Amino acid sequence: MIKRDVKIGGEYRATVSGRRVRVRIDREAGVKGWIATNLLTGREVRILTAARLTPLPIRPADAGRRTEMPNRLHDYLIARGYRKYEPGLMSNIYSALYQRRLHDVPPCESNDHTEMNVWIADVVDPKNPTAVVEITGQINDIWVKLEAYGLPQYPAPVEAAEQMVVTAWCAVAGDK
d(CA 5, CA 11): 12
Q: Does domain 3-55 have CATH number 2.170.120.20?
A: no
Backbone angles phi, psi at 88, to 5 degrees: 55, -120
pLDDT of 43-76, one tens digit each? 899 999 988 898 887 654 444 433 344 457 777 7
Report how far residue 43's alpha carbon sits from residue 37's, in angstroms, rounded to the nearest whole number: 6
- Express each pLDDT in 132-165 by its tens digit: 888 887 777 788 888 888 887 777 788 888 888 8
Predicted model pTM: 0.52
Rg (CA), the chain: 20
3-state secondary structure of 10: coil
Quote the DSSP letter at residue 29: -
What residues does CATH 2.30.30.140 cover in the chain?
3-55
